[in-house]
Amino acid sequence: MQTRGRNIDFKKLSEGQTEEENKRKLRKASKCYVYENKFNVERLICKRKDGLIQKYLVKWESYSEYECTWEPWFHLPKIILDDFSTPKIEIDPDTLQEISDEFRTAVQARLSQRVGSHFYISSTFDSFRRLFHNRGTEVQKGRKLLQRDDFSGLLLPEDWDIFVYTKLGEGRAVSFPIKVTPTLRWSKKCYRVVSGSLVEAPRRPLESWKVEISTARYHV
């Protein structure tokens, strides 16, 4: 287990809580997470703050997505945490092609309609981080405003942002920027019987990108 650094909550200090109280809460929280065995991390999905502890939603290698768990940062290898914040591993070619094709199809469908302003791409958060790290402008809670050049990491044709629907050359085109937000939802809540009692069944995290696009008339 990694050594934890100092984590002082200055807001709580200003409200009368001492640094020692802060440390005591951290020690108490850390004692709640002890595993006898080691498990391999396949990927980190997202993170959240739980009190004073930064936690990550972990997809475990060789385990179902229904068995993902929230883990404190000190349970995880530094190399994995570093790759979460500053992605270095490239997306494998097959996955990249799949994301590119789905994005292209969804954009064309959006341009062919005059109603609606957004759609969802079923893809992982780590793919989003790898494709758009240091690209675009982050506006709030992971949402990014992306210009045309920011999509250069996808395998798209030159005219991917244009849809011509008549032989007269009439159509519609994307108006940049595009808003993209990683969106986490969960499978339906349900219950099952365990040892004669009803308990909440595990739920699967459902990752997607919410893509918001404005369009304008286009003519060849």
The pair of three-digit structure tokens given for residue 148, joined into one six-digit string: 């045309």
Instruction: Report in angstroms the alpha-carbon separations of 70 from 33, 61, 118, 215.
Output: 11, 15, 30, 39
In this prediction the pTM is: 0.78
| Residue 24 sits in the same domain as residue 122 | no
Which domain, by its residues, includes 27?
10-85
Question: Under DSSP, is residue 127 helix (H, G, I), strand (E, B) or coil?
Answer: helix
| Residue 79 sits in the same domain as residue 139 | no
Show which of 85, 105, 136 is a domain's final residue.
Answer: 85
Within a domain: 115? yes
| Residue 172 sits in the same domain as residue 213 | yes
Tell me, what CATH number does 69's domain have? 2.40.50.40
Which DSSP state fits 3?
P
* Separation CA 216–CA 115 (nearest Å): 12
Within a domain: 2? no
* Separation CA 178–CA 153 (nearest Å): 15
| Residue 72 sits in the same domain as residue 180 | no
Within a domain: 5? no
pLDDT digits (tens, 9 = 90+) for 39-85: 899 999 999 999 999 999 999 999 999 999 999 999 999 999 999 99
* Separation CA 165–CA 29 (nearest Å): 59
Structural domains in the chain (count): 2
pLDDT digits (tens, 9 = 90+) for 108-131: 999 998 767 899 999 999 999 999
Q: Is the peptide bond before 87 cis (omega within 30 degrees of 0)?
A: no
Whole-number pLDDT of residue 21: 59
